[in-house]
Each structure stands twice: as C-alpha cells, then as structure tokens.
Structure 1
Amino acid sequence: MKPQLVRVARGTAGVAGAIALAELVVRTGLVDAEDVPPASTVLLRAAELFADIEFLTAVADTVRAWLGGLLLATVVAVALGLLLNATPWLNSAARVVVELLRPIPSLALIPLATVTFSSVTQSKMSLVFYASTWPILINTLYALRDVDPVAKETLRSFGFGKLAVLLRVSLPSAAPFVATGVRIALSVGLVVVISTELVVGGGEGIGGFLMDSQTGGGQTDLMLAGAVWAGLLGLLANAVLVGTERRAFRWHAAGTEAA
C-alpha cells in the first residue's frame, strides 16, 4: 500500500476511534447526556446543517474574513521578510518591534478593531491579518537567512544581479518554509476569526451561529455541530495546502527524504 494511503487510513481510524470513545463515554453514563449529547447526535445535526442556508451563509462569512485576512498577511509578511533580509540595518532596527508586537493576543485588539473599522467583516479580517502575519514573517526571515550562500555567490559570479539571485535562488529555496508558515497561520487565523465573532457578536459567521445556538435555553448538540464544521473547515484547508505543497515542492520533499 502507498505511504499516502497508509496515512489516510491511519487518520481515518484515529477519527473513528475518537468518535466511538466520545459516544461510549456518554452512553455509559460517565457524562450526562443532557450536558453533552452523544457523538452520533452531534454528527447527525452537523449533517443537517449542510442543508441549512442560514448556516451556510454564516460559514461563508467566516471563510471570507478568514481567507481574506490570511491572503493579505501572506503578501505583506513575505514582502516585509524580503525587505528586512535585504537590509541588515533595518532588520536589526525592526527586530525589537517584531518581538514586542508578536506576543500581543489578537483578541486584546478587538476594541481597537471595532472602533477603527466600520463593519464586523473588516474587523475580523484585520485581526486575522495581525495574527497571521507573525508566523509567516518569522518563517520567511529564517528561511531566507538559511539560503545556501554558495548558490547565491555562484549566480553572482556569472553576472546575475540581486533581483535574479532573489528570483532564481532565494525565493525558491525559502518557498517551502514560507508555505509552512502559511499553514501555521491558517490554523491561527481560523481560531481568531471565530473567537472574534463570539466576542463581537452581531450574529455573523460560525461564531455568531454558536452564540445564537445557546440563546433561549441553549442547544448543545447544535453548538457542537457548528464546532464540528469549524474543525472540518480547518482540516480541509490544511489538506489543500499540504497537497499543493507536495505538488509544487516535490524537489524539496525528495531532497528531505534523501537526507
């Protein structure tokens, strides 16, 4: 069996085992079914949400803010990483600023975002952008720093300029590590956008749906079904990025396996 199929089979078995364990815990009475519904009930409600137009609209709101902020962060972080790598004095000056801003939680900036931007979507995108920028920027800087200097000097010795060296050596070498930063930012951005929807309210997105499901006495099965959808979104987006990386950077995977 191919290694990829083995990984898929193991992952599927792991998910099935986790679902069975969650079902068993409730069915045996270890957890009160009124507090936490069985996994089978949650999955059934999650499947029903697939035909719920209102919920799908909420999902679209979340995805739009999530991917929009991530795309903007990718463009800005990679461009900033290239600039800082090319100018050592600016890199040294910006290092303290980066280390100061990076630990600040995005959720702490929600009041500032809601005051600065007129719409909830813009607020969510700005916070996703802020949270996603740092892992991409850090990965870009470290990747560019570790590019083989011999390869760059070889190209320069043949008369190639700085731009050619950047496009032919630095960017291709750094690209797999930048992609890893994007995948990290992908998960961070999803957490931030749903958390922002939960805090800001307004009924937008998956977070707004989760809040609404708890009004009027609460529907725990519906809330957990919405959470399952959030997890599926992250899983699907990560799978797409991993598949794209394997196709785009086959040479990198081959070199890693050989090493």
Structure 2
Amino acid sequence: MTVEQKAPETSSQQPRTGALTKAGAGKRTKGRTALFGALGTLGFLVLWEIVVVFGLLPRNNLPGASETLIRSVGLLADPVFLGHVGSTVAVSFLGLGIAFVIAVPLGLLLGISNAAFALASTVVELLRPLPPIAFVPLAVLIAGQGTEMKAAIVALGCVWPLLTNVIHGVHETDSVAKSTGRSFGWSRSTVIRRVVWPSAVPALITGVRITVSISLILCVGAEYIGGSTQGLGSWLLQQSMQPQGMQAVTAGVVIAGVLGVLVNAIVAGLDRRYAAWARRGEK
C-alpha cells in the first residue's frame, strides 16, 4: 500500500518539475539575451568614441559617444524637445491606427475570399513596393504640412505590412479546425470569429512589431522633408542649420533610436502575452 500511494504523488510532481525547468531555462535565455545586448551596445559606444578620438573619419565634425550621451540626457529635460517628440509619437500612432483600421478587415476579406484575393493581389503587389516618402510632396499639396499629411504618409507605409501579415495569418489557419467548427453547426461568421481570427492574431502582432518602427521612421521623414513646424524631424532640421548643431542632431537621433527600442519592447510584451501560444510548437 505504501508503494501504491507514493506512485501517483511522484507522477503528479513530474509535470510541475518540467514546467519549472522550462521556466528557469526561459529566464536564463532572456538574461543571456539582455547581457549580450548590453555588451553589444557598450562595444558600439566604445568603437564610436575611438573613431572620433583618433579622427578616423574624413571630417572631424562628429561628436563622440560621451558628448552625445551627455547632450541626450540634457535634451530629456528640455520641454521644447519633449514636445516635439510627443508630437511625433502621437502622429505615428494616429497613422498606425488608421492603417490598422484599413488593413485588418481588408486582410480578413482577402484572406477568406479567394476571388477577392485574386482580384486585389496584383494591385497590392504593385503598390506595396512604392516608398511612402516619395508621396510627401503630393501629400503636402493635398493636405498641407500638418498632422493630416504626416498621418497619411505613416498610414500609407504601415498598411502593407499589416495587410500582408493578416492575409498570411488567415491562410495559415488550420483547415481541420475550420472543418471541426462547421461540423458543430457553426455559421461562417462564427468560424471566422472563433477560429480564423484567433489564428491570424499572432501574424497581426508580428506586423504591428514591424510597423511600429516604420511609423516612427516615416513620421520623422515626413516632418523633415515636408517642412513641418512640429515633430522630431522638424526639430532635427532646425538644429542641423545651427553652426554647432551636429551634437544636438546626433543626440536627437540617439533618443529616437531609444524610443524605437522602447516601443518595440512594449509590442513584444503584447506578443508574449497574447500570441505566445502560437509559437509553443516552434521551440
């Protein structure tokens, strides 16, 4: 009786032990990735400082990494600069939201309907490679130099990655799962809501991770090229015209890069929270 009572206890503890082992391995992997990222960043900064100190560039107007970091910290306390950054972030997310509203329903339609996909695929492939920045002069003529122009450029650049990822996610839906839903008597709309849409969510979040960085780049580019008076691109343009503006420009670029990393980390957290189930089989 003693052996029979201990056997179930041992078997019940095995899954828990395996789960703890996997959790520990996951934490070690994340810690190793963070350490390598920090070392890579430090190495880049050291190399940057060496290049500037020893004058390895043809022109000696690039500030060193130490000067740039000090200037960057100072900019973070400048309300005018922070206002420009806030304007860029707000317009970036506005354009991304517009692209999301367009791409998600259209991607579901094109992914579900073979006829609609056949009709639109040529047009999508024709327009997708066009650089959105090339449309800035036209957008300025139509919408002016304000928020509407910048949001339109961001939406134009973000809609295609989102659209193609949603279509891909719909096409990757398990046919057995759809057939099972129909066998339960589910309607077409129920199958789409309970099977197709959850299957497309991981691909959609991947598209969002791609487009978040794209939205910031496009917004800064539109502000810079379109002659806007607000935004990080406008601030960089103004600083580049100053006699000693190279340090400020470099610091602004560094802060823009850090901002992109932070936003991408937030989206990656959403990916782990809502789409990790789709990648369990890949590990």
CA distance in 1, matches of 2:92, 2:139: 15
1:61 aligns to 2:87 (yes or no):
yes
Aligned with 1:2: secondary structure?
helix
Alignment match of 2:176 (pick from 139, 150, 162): 150
Other-structure match for 1:37: 63
Other-structure match for 2:281: 255
The more displaced of 161-170 and 25-34 is: 25-34
Structure 1 length-normalised TM: 0.95
CA distance in 2, matches of 1:205, 1:149: 47
Aligned with 1:29: secondary structure?
coil
Alignment match of 1:101 (pick from 124, 127, 147): 127
Unpaired runs of 5+ in structure 1?
A: none
Alignment match of 1:229 (pick from 234, 251, 255): 255
Alignment match of 2:100 (pick from 70, 74, 77): 74
How far the C-alpha of 1:79 sits from its partner, in A, is 0.8
CA distance in 2, matches of 1:109, 1:202: 15
Other-structure match for 2:155: 129
CA distance in 2, matches of 1:87, 1:32: 57
C-alpha deviations, 1:146-175, integer Å up to 9, x for none? Answer: 111011001100101111111211111111
What is the aligned-residue RMSD (CA, Å)?
A: 1.5
1:202 aligns to 2:228 (yes or no):
yes
1:10 aligns to 2:36 (yes or no):
yes
Other-structure match for 2:187: 161
Identity %: 37
Other-structure match for 1:91: 117
Other-structure match for 1:193: 219
Contact 1:246 / 1:253 at 8 angstroms: preserved in 2?
Answer: no
Bigger Rg, which one: 2
Contact 1:49 / 1:55 at 8 angstroms: preserved in 2?
Answer: yes
How far the C-alpha of 1:208 sits from its partner, in A, is 0.7
1:180 aligns to 2:180 (yes or no):
no
CA distance in 1, matches of 2:210, 2:276: 20
C-alpha deviations, 1:77-128, integer Å up to 9, x for none? Answer: 0110111123221211111111111111111111221122245111000000
CA distance in 2, matches of 1:33, 1:101: 40
C-alpha deviations, 1:4-44, integer Å up to 9, x for none? Answer: 11111111111111001101111122237841111000111
The more displaced of 178-187 and 211-220 is: 211-220
CA distance in 2, matches of 1:10, 1:123: 40
1:244 aligns to 2:255 (yes or no):
no
Structure 2 length-normalised TM: 0.87
The more displaced of 130-139 and 194-203 is: 194-203
CA distance in 1, matches of 2:32, 2:193: 37
CA distance in 1, matches of 2:263, 2:242: 33
How far the C-alpha of 1:202 sits from its partner, in A, is 3.1
Aligned with 1:203: secondary structure?
coil
CA distance in 1, matches of 2:143, 2:170: 34
Other-structure match for 1:113: 139
Change in Cα spacing, 1:53 to 1:32, as seen in structure 2 (3 Å) is: farther
C-alpha deviations, 1:187-239, integer Å up to 9, x for none? Answer: 22211111111111233211111111112324111000000111111111100
Pairs aligned (count): 257
Contact 2:136 / 2:153 at 8 angstroms: preserved in 1?
Answer: yes
